[in-house]
Copies of this chain bind each other. A is one copy, B any other.
Amino acid sequence: MPKKTTIYDIAKALNITAATVSRALNDSPRVKKATKELILETAKQMNYEQNKLAQALKSGKSYNVGVIVPYINSNFFASVIRGIEEELYPKGYHVIICQTHDQENLEIENINSLLNAQVDGVLMSISNSNIETNPAFKNLVRKHVPLIFFDRKKDIKGVSSVTIDDFKGAYMATQHLIEQGCKRIAHLSNDQSLEIFQNRFLGYKQAILDNGFEFDCNLVVETTSKVESGSLSTKKLLSLNNPPDGIFASCDFSALGAIKEIKAHGLSIPDDISVIGFSNEPFSQFMELSITSIDQSPMEMGRIAANVFLDEVNSNGNVKSEKHIILAPELIERKSSIKELLLVD
């Protein structure tokens, strides 16, 4: 086991003090150029590498940032993470990724792990709707660890957030279906205790009302972010006396489930039923019957969240005003909802 060389080793070799070595290594202006160069030189020769742990212990900073997401294997979250990484790596931060699998206990464990790792901040998209009552979470807040929500947020005092305008996205999606001629539009909703899903529901409802349609609560079915769940809910919708001719799903996965179910019933898309999803996952584009969806510019969301974090860290708790940044959604039209292809020209 080759012992690691420390600044003391370098100091000894050069007959100076560790303090000077430390200063030189940190490029302090109070070191003679000659000695500095000498130190840097010998440091390299001796294969010196800074022990970040010791530095962290000393400074109280770890230069680690935790990112907690429900799943890492969705393009949306993976892209947000990518955006975060791109902003934070150049600043010397390292990104620790944790996934909750939408399980409350795992979310708690993750928070604890991150606290143990002494992270300098946490960027998260919550799964647990009762998060604020949890001890682990309270710890996070009590310790003044900068916390930023993205996408799945909760309104908590002092916590900044970056989201898209889910209400608007949902409104656009519903409006789009109406413009395609749909008269009875159903909504595959999701956990209403999470703001994003609540807003998607509200946007949907508003669009329905604004267009002079009647809001029918039988057309709103709760689902999860799973394909199977989308199928199941759609099955219910199709068994109604007066089934829908359009479906706005709160995520692409449930939209996929809906499509499978509709086909299984021998109905055609978009002619019998138009479908639109949310998130613009790549598969929605790959599908033979490509899925219309709402893009959430995840990379940008990640970048912005990272910068909000950096602002908080660098202001040392001075600028403690929370920020709430809301990005604009974008409608991506594809086959699952466009009926008038034949009418073109």
> Could you say which residues of chain B place their CB within 8 Å of the CB of A113?
94
> Could you say which residues of chain B place their CB within 8 Å of the CB of A213?
none
Q: A2-B142, A2-B143, A57-B57 are in contact. Are A97 and B72 (CB under 8 A)?
A: yes
Scan residues 281-339 of chain A and give those whose CB is less than 8 A from a CB of chain B.
Answer: 283, 286-289, 317
Q: Check if A144 is an interface residue, CB within 8 A of chain B.
A: yes
Stretch among A73-81, A158-166, A243-251 lining the B interface: A73-81
A142 to B143, CA, bound (A): 38
Stretch among A44-52, A123-131, A171-179, A188-196 lining the B interface: A44-52
Q: A73-B73, A286-B227 are in contact. Are A116 and B78 (CB under 8 A)?
A: no
Check if A97 sits within 8 Å of B94, measured CB to CB. Answer: no
Q: Pick the contact of A73: B52, B56, B74, B144 (CB < 8 A).
A: B74
Check if A117 sits within 8 Å of B54, measured CB to CB. Answer: no
> Could you say which residues of chain B place their CB within 8 Å of the CB of A94?
96, 113, 116-117
Scan residues 138-177 of chain A and give those whose CB is less than 8 A from a CB of chain B.
Answer: 139, 142-144
Interface size class of A (residues with CB under 8 A): 35 or more
A263 to B290, CA, bound (A): 14
A118 to B57, CA, bound (A): 13
> Could you say which residues of chain B place their CB within 8 Å of the CB of A82?
99, 101
Q: Closest Cβ of chain B: how far from A110's Cβ, in Å? A: 9
Check if B118 sits within 8 Å of A53, measured CB to CB. Answer: yes
> Could you say which residues of chain B place their CB within 8 Å of the CB of A74?
73
Q: Check if A137 is an interface residue, CB within 8 A of chain B.
A: no
Check if B72 sits within 8 Å of A81, measured CB to CB. Answer: yes
> Could you say which residues of chain B place their CB within 8 Å of the CB of A64?
117
A286 to B173, CA, bound (A): 23
Q: Check if A1 is an interface residue, CB within 8 A of chain B.
A: yes
Q: Check if A279 is an interface residue, CB within 8 A of chain B.
A: no
A1 nearest CB neighbor, chain B only: B144
Scan residues 235-266 of chain A and give those whose CB is less than 8 A from a CB of chain B.
Answer: 256, 260, 263
Q: Check if A62 is an interface residue, CB within 8 A of chain B.
A: yes
A74 to B2, CA, bound (A): 38
Q: Check if A8 is an interface residue, CB within 8 A of chain B.
A: no
Scan residues 69-115 of chain A and give those whose CB is less than 8 A from a CB of chain B.
Answer: 71-75, 77-79, 81-82, 85, 89, 94-99, 101, 109, 113, 115
Q: Would you list 7 pairs from A and B whose C-beta atoms are within 8 A, ordered by A residue? A: A1-B317, A52-B118, A64-B117, A73-B75, A94-B116, A256-B286, A283-B286
| 11 extra interface residue pairs, beta carbon distance < 8 Å, beyond A53-B53, A72-B73, A82-B99 | A51-B57, A53-B57, A73-B74, A73-B75, A73-B78, A94-B116, A94-B117, A96-B96, A256-B286, A287-B288, A288-B289
The interface of chain A, by Cβ under 8 A from chain B, is: 1-2, 4, 49-54, 56-57, 62, 64, 71-75, 77-79, 81-82, 85, 89, 94-99, 101, 109, 113, 115-118, 139, 142-144, 227, 256, 260, 263, 283, 286-289, 317
